[in-house]
């Protein structure tokens, strides 16, 4: 059996787009002898572990209740149900208490009616605080993509979330008033060093809002902001601020 097929035998990995699984598999395989059958199990195991680190670890207990919560939602701006859904994904759960403050802050810089959200996860369910906008997203997990699109369809909200690996895009992304990249760039860089510079050139939004974690996953140890000097050298920073366990950069896109 081919290595890619072996990695994808488990459902949690079968829902990830081929480009991402292949990218991680190639990176892991470079450390082994792919002609040696003894190394195959190691490659599969390590690839799955890396994929879980990149995506699977963000799914939280109760994830399978998401459809039930969406059924309960009577309005697109139902904050109570939206918070239940946001709490099923690590990155959006950590932002729940700060969404109101965050989007008010962002709107100080850009009055946006459309959003492009790269590596979006469940962030479309922040719309009660974000505002009703035309929402476009890209994410690697098909189940999450279908779920986000079900929300947009249910309430007749313009836009759509696309299933795919952001790093595999070669042409410019579609235009939106603002582009979000929340806690994704370090993961992207771990897969393809230097990719941030390429991605920034593919974005046509006037403003890009980029965030990085200030604490390790789960809100543990404080992470030094010095590690972000590489990013600060790449962009035109209009402002940066901390809300919750994230540092946000307001980037003016030239």
110 and 192 in a single domain? The answer is: yes
Angle among Cα 243, 54, 12 to the nearest 5 degrees reads 125
Range 90-103 burial, b when 16+ CB lie within 10 A, else e: bbbbbbbeebeebb
Instruction: Give the model's pLDDT for residue 99.
Output: 97
211 and 132 in a single domain? The answer is: yes
- Check if the beta carbon of residue 114 is closer than 8 Å to that of residue 206: no
Tell me the residue range of the domain where 171 lies: 63-252
DSSP assignment of 58-118 equals GB-TTGGGHHHHHHH--STT-HHHHHHHHTTBHHHHTTGGGHHHHHHHHTTT---SEEEEE
List the structure tokens of 214. 């200030």
Instruction: Give the model's pLDDT for residue 33.
Output: 79
194 and 93 in a single domain? The answer is: yes
Instruction: Give the model's pLDDT for residue 56.
Output: 61
161 and 223 in a single domain? The answer is: yes
Q: The pTM is what?
A: 0.88
Tokens 């729940």, located at residue: 96
Q: How many domains would you assign to the chain?
A: 2
Domain boundary among 31, 54, 77: 54
97: CATH:
3.40.50.150
Distance between CA 211 and CA 191 in Å, rounded?
18
227 and 182 in a single domain? The answer is: yes
164 and 46 in a single domain? The answer is: no
How many contiguous H segments (helices) and E segments (strands) does the chain have?
13, 7
Instruction: Give the model's pLDDT for residue 237.
Output: 96
Domain boundary among 27, 54, 81: 54
Instruction: Give the model's pLDDT for residue 2.
Output: 84
177 and 96 in a single domain? The answer is: yes
Q: Where are the alpha helices (DSSP H) in 155-207?
A: 185-191, 195-201
Measuring CA to CA, which residue among 12, 7, 117 is closest to residue 56? 12
39 and 142 in a single domain? The answer is: no
Partners of residue 159 on adjacent β-strands: 135
Q: Which residues contact 19 (CB under 8 A, 6 or more apart)?
A: 164, 165, 167, 168
74 and 28 in a single domain? The answer is: no
27 and 117 in a single domain? The answer is: no
Spans in the chain with pLDDT lower than 70: 1, 56-59, 216-221, 225
Instruction: Give the model's pLDDT for residue 41.
Output: 85
């Amino acid at each position: 059996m081919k290595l890619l097929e072996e990695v994808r035998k488990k459902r949690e990995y079968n829902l990830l787009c081929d480009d991402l699984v292949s990218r991680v598999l190639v990176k892991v395989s470079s450390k082994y002898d792919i002609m040696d059958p003894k190394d195959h199990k190691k490659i599969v195991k390590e690839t799955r572990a890396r994929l879980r680190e990149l995506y699977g670890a963000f799914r939280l207990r109760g994830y399978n209740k998401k459809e039930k919560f969406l059924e309960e939602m009577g309005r697109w701006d139902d904050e109570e149900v939206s918070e239940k859904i946001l709490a099923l994904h690590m990155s959006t759960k950590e932002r729940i208490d700060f969404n109101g403050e965050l989007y008010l802050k962002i709107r100080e810089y850009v009055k946006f009616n459309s959003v492009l959200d790269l590596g979006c996860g469940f962030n479309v369910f922040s719309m009660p605080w974000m505002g009703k906008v035309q929402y476009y997203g890209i994410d690697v997990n098909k189940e999450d993509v279908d779920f986000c699109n079900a929300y947009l369809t249910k309430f007749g909200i313009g836009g759509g979330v696309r299933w795919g690996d952001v790093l595999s895009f070669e042409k410019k992304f579609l235009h939106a008033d603002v582009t979000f990249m929340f806690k994704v760039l370090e993961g992207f860089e771990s897969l393809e060093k230097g990719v941030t510079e390429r991605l920034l050139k593919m974005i046509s939004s006037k403003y890009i809002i980029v965030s990085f974690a200030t604490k390790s996953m789960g809100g543990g140890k404080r992470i030094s902001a010095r590690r972000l000097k590489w990013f600060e050298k790449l962009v035109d920073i209009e402002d940066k601020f901390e809300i919750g366990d994230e540092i946000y950069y307001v980037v003016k896109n030239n």
